Chain A
Amino acid sequence: MSTLSSLSTALNSAMSALKASQAGLSVASNNIANVNTPGYSRQRIMLQEAPTIGDTISVGTGVHILGTEAIRDQLIERRIWNETSGKSASDLTHQSLTDIENLFNEAGNTGLLPLISNFYNSFQKLSTNPSSPELRQQVISSATALTQSINSRANELRDMRTSIDRSIGEDVSKANILIGQIAEVSKQIHEAEATEPANDLRDQRTSLIKKLSEVMNVKELDSNGTYQLTTGNGRPLVIAGTAIPLAVGTSSGGLTTVLSGPHDITSEFSSGTLAARVALRDQTIPKYQQSLDQLAFDLATQVNQLHSVSYDQDGNTGTNFFNPIAAVPGAALSLQVNSVVAADPRKIAAASQPGGTDNEAAIALGNLVNATNPPRGTITDQYRGLVFQIGSETASVQVDFNQHESTLTQLENMRASLSGVSIDEETASILQFQRAYQASARVITTIDQLLQVTLAMGTAGA
């Protein structure tokens, strides 16, 4: 091997080292730049020694830059998506339950219970003086306060349910936008990775799926070059770069449904805001509506049964105190004092005898506060049950939310531990490449001097 060719080999390998150091510096710089970018996976430069040449002594020819690799564990990412779905579902459920809880909060001064007690007590008061117009009016006032309060709670539950139903459609639109973006990015990844790993695009897709996970739980299948994203139940969302958007329909009951092609998948979601909204709309809120309806129905029925066989101040009988309610569903919305009675308090049937002067019916009506209605117990027992149910359900969702939050933080920490950028580490790496760059530059200077010596030798010999 000639001196010149071996010097130029050395020059080349020093040049490759300079390039490698520069590349290393720019990777470190990119990592630092993205230290706060959500979903960013730190990258590492991949270097390989260049092949050796020479016949007598083999010498390496420098360093090859193979490219960059992103440090990520897809398994952790998938667990993060899963936990994100769980957290967003319990967060939303907790918010809604807190709203419902406010309707049945007896801690303040606006509870329903004092109104129930006042209503029954107003009959007991009337029993002390059944002919008093003031006490009769008081019965009407306390009954009206009670019915209005039950009506407004029933109204709020109904409005909550309607607004949640509307949000289901909004969730689907939000999901469809994300599905479209994921499909687009998947297509780009497929094209780009024909040549080299598309780290940034993969990071981008991971972030998009995490956003989608807030809406619904998803599954990813990335094998044999075909990328698939499906719902938790396997309904396709993205197949090989093509988006398969969900659609919104209307059920026979006028409620929003979620469609995947021809299939109604409304109740298939197990977590994410979509699942939470469907559960609130179809189970949770109807359950509290049913409890309140039952309470209103029993209240009106018990009072009417007694009132309609008792006698009013003019000795007439057969009047209902509340407008009769035919069925339990919707009872809380329609509960109302009979307008005939409300307009004329003399029509309150306080007497058990046709004379209309005694107080026995008033006592009996007041005593309904203790009347049990098997298996539901008294009206107060029913209300107690409602308060217990909303209280314990809200508390358990709060626990659920805290658990998801902790697990998610743990997973994010695991992810950060693997894929996150550490400024200290990058600083060290900059130092490392800086020194390598300085050393390579030194090598080039040295070779330059040697080449000059060699060239001067040639001139002297000629």
Chain B
Amino acid sequence: MTNERQAWRGLARVLASRRLEGPVAEGGDSGGRVYHHLTLLAPEVAAAAVPGQFVHVLCPPRGGAGGAPYAPASATPGLPFLRRPLSVHDADQARGTVGLLFWVKGPGTAGLAAARPGDRLDVVGPLGNGGFPLGLGPALVVGGGIGLAPLLFLARRLARRGRVTVLAGVAQAGDLALVEPFRRLKDLAGLIVTTEDGSPGTVPGTVVAALPESLDGLSPDGLSGAVYACGPGPMLRAVWDQVSARPGLTAWFSVEERLACGVGACRGCAIPVRTGPAGETASPPDPGRAPDYRLVCRDGPVFDGNLLDWEAL
């Protein structure tokens, strides 16, 4: 299970930094969430990264140039302290660029969002296991909210190989900017967008509600193909409930846990899995046995749905 691939660590130049604008005017209902996109020049990362992997970014302290708009009114000094994991949103090997898409949540992402073109960011990556396994059969990519971040790179790679449908859900009109890059993807078999506020041109509701139809359409019998999902915990669980009820489908999930080292050294990012001592899936797990864990940073962040211990997650 040792990750023998080597990650790169260095300073990546910021080529572009932009706040995502949804179709709703400034001041519209964006649910208070601000999203940001960075383009970094990091040829080593761009060349090595596969969909599902992440980079570990040292975030500049807030208060830097342009930091004000995102800085919370009162803030604890000494934060951000650790690096922040962000998925590879997109990678362009020819240009040597890596795109990051993130929700401006707290001090780390606020500092990142303040980065300006020409700034240099200390980056380690790509990290994580081999990412989402790319099959040849029909694929359904399911993302909720900022969980869409790692899925653009995935959908792009999958579309080169076969039939890919994307099911993308966001809460409200203000979040639709997260979906925009998927609209520009060529060769998608389909793009279904859901919004909980029923924005025009979208399917009202959640991806979970829209999933049965998408699964039916995945293959003629609705029983073969691969599902790839990233999003909030309850969404992933609901996706797994539906997928696991259809034998023949495989499903891969990108999950999150708080990271410290990001390289498998500190054992800080454990998530519960269902395995026997030799690593084989033992389902249901023996309740008397000590829990088994895998490391999100080293063994994930992408896991086979069969491996995850959904009761304990």
The answer to whether A and B interact is no
**B interface residue numbers (CB < 8 A to A):** none
**A interface residue numbers (CB < 8 A to B):** none
